Amino acid sequence: MTSVPLPLTMIVSHDPPGAIRNIATIAHRELRDAVSSRWFILYTLAFAVLGLAVSLVSASVTGSTGISGFGRTSAGLVNIVLLVVPLMALTAGAASIASDRERGMLSYVFAQPVSRLEVLLGKYVGLGASLLACLCLGLGACALILVWKGVATRPASIVWLAGLSFALALGMLSLGMLISTLARKASVAVGTAIFVWLTLVFVSDLALMTGAVALRLRIEELLAFSLINPLQVFKMWSLHAADASLDVLGPAGLYASEEYGQRLHLIFGSLLLTWVVFPLAAAAAVLSRRSPL
Amino acid sequence: MKPRAVHLLIVALLVLALADHGAAQTRSSEHSVPAFAPVPSDPIRLGVIGKMIAAAAEGDTIEVPAGVYREHLRIDRPVTLVAQGNAVLDGGGSGDIVEISAPRVALRGFTIRNTGIDLDKENAAVRVLAPRATIEDNTLEDVLFGIDLREAPDSVVRGNRIGGKNLDIARRGDGLRLWRSDRTLIEGNTIHDGRDAIIWYSTGVTVRHNRAHECRYGLHLMFSDDVTISHNEFSRNSVGVYLMYSARIELTQNQLTGNRGPSGYGIGLKEADQFAIRENLIAGNRAGVYIDGSPFTDKKPGEFTRNTLAYNDIGVTFLPSARGNELTDNNFIDNINQVSVAGRGALDANRFWKGERGNFWSDYTGYDQNRDGVGDFMHESQTLFDNIMDRQPALRLFLFSPAQHAIEFVGRAIPAVRPEAKFTDEVPLMAPVPIAFTAASGREGARTLLLAGSGGGLLAVGSAILALARGTQRVRGRAIDMRVNSTGGST
């Protein structure tokens, strides 16, 4: 592992249209590989089947009554997004660079007249597009099932859910790519990604719950700590977008609603953006300093 | 990039944008309050109606021509005042506007607006101080108190539209208030942006077909017995109907929706007694029903039958003091907590089934092998996370997260931490009890279309990306030769 720090100017191409063309080419290549890969088909199927199951089960109960709300359908879909999307994005990101490195592909690509940042961004855009396709197909199918079953759901909420899931996916992809640049082997990268996923999905929430009771956290502290977790940000944002009030989340949610009101969109947005930008920037920094071998 | 794929993507994005826009419009029009057309150009007339009343004999009908009248009326003899066309009584932002001090006065068809904002003097649009008044088809706007009946028994308040002042809730007055006005009929009124519609010390009052929204309490009973409340719609208030210290109340076929806030309840019961709550639709409230010390005596069990409680954060919340309620044939549909006990305590003193009739629980997991419409196993409410939320409300923050399900799974799987059943329903119903009336708003068709459009749009975006991915790569300029890469293509 040699550490020859490259100045940033050497990473970024001097010819912006050329850089964009390079990124587009790599992105397209990455997208094509991704959508024909096994993980993409598997995750898309898993996501769609779980979503459809949730929609059907909830439709069997609520379809007959003609009343609607943030009921089991929306809660179930949010839950499935929380489980599947981070796993999908983290592992996809983790596998990307590390597997190229393992196969020696990275040094080959770096020998081409493209900068390392272009390679990273190209891969990011390509994988992001493949995740978007997966989300759209899954949630679109769910929406049609809900229509077929006559469940009254606000159309905007499913569009919001798709958009927010994509934002969450981009954040997790970013984190996955950081893991990928740090790991030497693809297997290590994917293992680490699954560990991170487990932490974000279960461990941190359970720890925070225990901590909140044991340390008697005030609600604003509880809220602040929970917002460190991008999954909680996504969850609160999708509730906020669907219902305009977070009081369903008890005192802490009520506090958030009363204190910040419509500024919550901005807060949640910037928090998720942080999760997109910082890991990706860190990944770029690591990639520029590390040997491709 | 394939041009066709790009076009497909653009069309899909357009569909999505339109769907979202349409939904936003549907939403905003639901909440908008129709504006009343002011008549600014008319000359303001002073003291005209006062002179007409002074000239009238007992039992006369006075027809008031259209126009704007800047008057504070005192009606001191039994007459009928009828507005011809758009007759506006404007208080000019001070004091009360109409005061009725004689019995058998009728006031019909006026627009009454612009009272003072003095809460100490309780500035009201219409104050009635005598029995048998009829206040009908008036439009009250920008008023502190709307219609204030003080010792005015046997009155009729019908078809009025009462709009409060746009003030902070603590500075508003009551849209409608009854004080010792027995046997009054309140029918077909709409109240918005007021504080409460409140009934004090009045017996035998009937409240039907009214609507109240954006108020504090849609309807508030204080020490008022034998009241019948039916076919009303209370939505987006802090509390839909609050029954306090009142007995022999019937609450039937009302619609209580979206009543939210720190103490948002569809129906609140505080030391109410001998009540029957039947066939109401209670949906989307913070708590559907809140029971505090009710029923107050043991003369009659608190009756809850054939109500539908759906999508509330909490279906029914009991304070530990609540005992002697019987809930049968109700639908509990997807409330986040179906039933909760505030703090610690058991629900032993309340019943969730009687004889052969239980309730419908959307979270019932049993089955019905003999097909008699009743589940073969009893319904036990015992989710660990529910119990945790009852005791530590702050942890509701973790609702809808996988961690919640992990906790519930642990609660089911490990007997050592399995919570005690909060209550049991021995005869849970397999299908919902039919709802007495439909809540469809007429926009369902448009919504379904938009939802279908959104779904189709999402699918189109997804397919467009797939098409883009499978499209041939156009090599331009110094694009990199990636062919070598394909030998090691990902699998």
Give the residue from A152, A171, A165, A173 showing the smallest Cα distance to A238. Answer: A165
Mean pLDDT of B381-403: 85
Structure confidence at residue B469 as a pLDDT band (50, 70, 90): confident
Q: Assess B362–A contact: CB distance below 8 Å, yes or no.
A: yes
Q: What's the pLDDT at A56? A: 78
pLDDT tens across A125-149, in order?
Answer: 999 999 999 999 999 988 888 888 7
Burial of B36 (C-beta count, 10 Å sphere; 0-12/13-18/19+)? middle
Q: What's the pLDDT at A87? A: 95
In the block, residue with structure tokens 């802490």: A252
Question: Using an 8 Å Cβ cutoff, are B68 and B49 in contact?
Answer: no
Question: Using an 8 Å Cβ cutoff, are A175 and A279 in contact?
Answer: yes
Question: Using an 8 Å Cβ cutoff, are A81 and A165 in contact?
Answer: yes
| A212–chain B nearest CA distance, Å | 8
Q: What's the pLDDT at B36? A: 42
Predicted confidence (pLDDT) at residue B80 exceeds the cutoff of 70: yes
Would residue A105 count as lying in a domain?
yes
Give the residue from A220, A221, A252 showing the smallest Cα distance to A236. Answer: A252
Predicted confidence (pLDDT) at residue B177 exceeds the cutoff of 90: yes
The encoded tokens of residue A217 equal 């956290």
**A25, A33, A245 ranked by CB distance to B479: nearest:** A25
Q: What's the pLDDT at B436? A: 66
Predicted confidence (pLDDT) at residue B129 exceeds the cutoff of 90: yes
Q: What's the pLDDT at B383? A: 78
- Cβ–Cβ gap B489/A72 under 8 Å: no
What size, in residues, is chain A? 293
Q: Assess A125–B contact: CB distance below 8 Å, yes or no.
A: no
Question: In terms of pLDDT, which residue wins out, B19 or B12?
Answer: B12
Q: What's the pLDDT at B12? A: 63
Predicted confidence (pLDDT) at residue B40 exceeds the cutoff of 60: no
When divided into structural domains, chain A yields a total of 1
Mean pLDDT of A258-266: 90
Would residue A237 count as lying in a domain?
no
Question: Which residues are within 8 A (CB) of B137 and not within 5 positions of it... i.e. 6 or more apart?
Answer: B108, B109, B158, B159, B160
Give the residue from B163, B132, B131 showing the smallest Cα distance to B147. Answer: B163
Would residue A57 count as lying in a domain?
yes
**Would you put residue A178 in left (φ > 0), alpha (ψ -120 to 50) or beta?**
alpha
Predicted confidence (pLDDT) at residue B188 exceeds the cutoff of 60: yes
The Cα B151–Cα B149 span in angstroms is: 6
Strand partners, B157: B135, B186
Predicted confidence (pLDDT) at residue B480 exceeds the cutoff of 50: no
Q: What's the pLDDT at B446? A: 75
- Cβ–Cβ gap B310/A71 under 8 Å: yes
DSSP, res B374: B
Predicted confidence (pLDDT) at residue A293 exceeds the cutoff of 70: no
In the block, residue with structure tokens 């943030």: A70
pLDDT tens across A7-22, in order?
Answer: 444 444 455 577 888 8
**Residue B182 CB: number of other CB atoms within 10 A?**
19
The Cα B400–Cα A250 span in angstroms is: 12
Q: What's the pLDDT at A251? A: 87
Q: Tell me which chain A residue has its CA closest to the CA of residue B486.
A: A33
Structure confidence at residue B64 as a pLDDT band (50, 70, 90): very high
Would residue A60 count as lying in a domain?
yes
Residue to test with chain B: of A61, A65, A72, A100, most B Cβ within 10 A: A65
- Cβ–Cβ gap B406/A202 under 8 Å: yes
Give the residue from B370, B104, B401, B55 showing the smallest Cα distance to A232. Answer: B401
Burial of B3 (C-beta count, 10 Å sphere; 0-12/13-18/19+)? exposed
Mean pLDDT of chain A: 85
Question: In terms of pLDDT, which residue wins out, B280 or A9?
Answer: B280
Q: What's the pLDDT at A13? A: 45
Give the residue from B367, B312, B303, B321 showing the smallest Cα distance to B339. Answer: B312
Would residue A238 count as lying in a domain?
no
Q: Pick B44-425's CATH classification: 2.60.120, 2.160.20, 1.10.10, 2.30.29.
A: 2.160.20
Predicted confidence (pLDDT) at residue A281 exceeds the cutoff of 70: yes
**B308, B458, B468 ranked by CB distance to A162: nearest:** B458
The encoded tokens of residue B157 equal 């308040």
Q: Tell me which chain B residue has its CA closest to the CA of residue A80.
A: B402
The Cα B197–Cα B96 span in angstroms is: 18
Structure confidence at residue B356 as a pLDDT band (50, 70, 90): confident
Size of interface A-B (CB pairs under 8 A): 260
Type of residue numbered B22: G
Q: Residue B193: how many CA atoms within 13 Å on its side-chain side?
A: 17
Mean pLDDT of A171-181: 96
Mean pLDDT of chain B: 85
Structure confidence at residue A276 as a pLDDT band (50, 70, 90): very high
Q: Residue B379: how many CA atoms within 13 Å on its side-chain side?
A: 25
The Cα A141–Cα A103 span in angstroms is: 37
Residues of A in contact with B390 (CB under 8 A): none
**Residue B446 CB: number of other CB atoms within 10 A?**
15
Report how far apart, in Å, the C-alpha atoms of A153 and of each of A66, B361, B382 are.
Answer: 10, 21, 29
Would residue A258 count as lying in a domain?
no
The Cα A114–Cα A104 span in angstroms is: 17
Mean pLDDT of B430-448: 69
Interface predicted TM-score (ipTM) of this complex, two decimals? 0.84
The encoded tokens of residue B432 equal 């919902």
- Cβ–Cβ gap B362/A70 under 8 Å: no
Sheet of B287-292, strand order:
B73-75, B98-100, B124-128, B145-150, B176-179, B196-200, B217-222, B239-244, B265-270, B287-292, B314-318, B337-341
Predicted confidence (pLDDT) at residue A1 exceeds the cutoff of 50: no
pLDDT tens across A220-229, in order?
Answer: 999 999 999 9
Predicted confidence (pLDDT) at residue A194 exceeds the cutoff of 80: yes
Question: In terms of pLDDT, which residue wins out, B116 or B345?
Answer: B116
Structure confidence at residue A195 as a pLDDT band (50, 70, 90): very high
Strand partners, B147: B126, B176
The Cα A20–Cα A253 span in angstroms is: 42
Domain around A16: 8-197+280-288
Predicted confidence (pLDDT) at residue A27 exceeds the cutoff of 80: yes
Question: Using an 8 Å Cβ cutoff, are B135 and B114 in contact?
Answer: no
Burial of B406 (C-beta count, 10 Å sphere; 0-12/13-18/19+)? middle
Question: Using an 8 Å Cβ cutoff, are A117 and A144 in contact?
Answer: no
Q: Tell me which chain A residue has its CA closest to the CA of residue B467.
A: A32
Domain spans of chain B, in order of start: 1-26+450-475, 44-425
Predicted confidence (pLDDT) at residue B445 exceeds the cutoff of 80: no
Give the residue from A182, A184, A230, A187 showing the smallest Cα distance to A205. Answer: A230
Predicted confidence (pLDDT) at residue B82 exceeds the cutoff of 90: yes
Question: Using an 8 Å Cβ cutoff, are B115 and B139 in contact?
Answer: no
Mean pLDDT of A58-64: 56
Q: Tell me which chain A residue has its CA closest to the CA of residue B446.
A: A155
